[in-house]
Amino acid sequence: MVGEPARALGCDPMSRSEEASPEGDLAAERKLLARLRGGEEAAFAELVKRHGGRMLTVAQRMLRHHEDARDAVQEAFLSAFRALDRFEGNARLSTWLHRIVVNAALMKLRTQRRKPEASIDELLPTFLEDGHAAEPSTPWREGSDETLSRRETRDLVRRSIDRLPESYRTILILRDVEELDTEETASLLGVSVNAAKTRLHRARQALRAILDPHFRAGGPS
């Protein structure tokens, strides 16, 4: 599956694994939410301690630079604190925070864009006049799923994603790493659902082309 290499980045110890931890117990979360709404400072510190690590990981995947990620997380927690009265409790606190962090990171990315984005065309597969691929894709090596679980290969996938133009890199992370659905991703990016689907397809094509020499049968290990 073309989305699997990027999705493998969600296996980091400080990311998705927190979602299923005992700390996420619903009863404890409801108590924490009540304390937060009561203005208890210790409750806010507990919220940051409980979810800050994962939120920093999310922001860093999107922004790459540690200081930018820290700023985005700080802004996100402040936004969450101000919006507590509007949180209806229909989602987990961690899910709600995740969306706020993603928004904060996107806002920071928008402020950083000062020059036109590079074209993705040079990273996409090329085709001959008869419509056949110039370099036909070959099956990836047996056991590539296991390979993708290795730290050095996750680093390779990260570096490959970082080669994509920013708008393609961002949509790939939102859909295949952070696992937002297409409609929410399109809304966050301010594009139509069809435009989001097209951009994601091209991003996956480019990532596959970048990774293909490393994972194809008989290719470099």
- Digit-coded pLDDT (tens) for 190-208: 999 999 999 999 999 999 8
Give this prediction's pTM.
0.73
Residue pair 106/62 in contact (Cβ under 8 Å)? The answer is yes
All domains of the chain in start order, with CATH = 8-112 (1.10.1740.10), 120-215 (1.10.10.10)
pLDDT band at 41 (very low <50, low <70, confident <90, very high): confident
Residue pair 211/143 in contact (Cβ under 8 Å)? The answer is no
- Digit-coded pLDDT (tens) for 120-158: 877 776 654 545 455 666 655 555 555 555 777 788 888
How far is Cα 43 from Cα 36, in angstroms, rounded to an integer?
A: 6
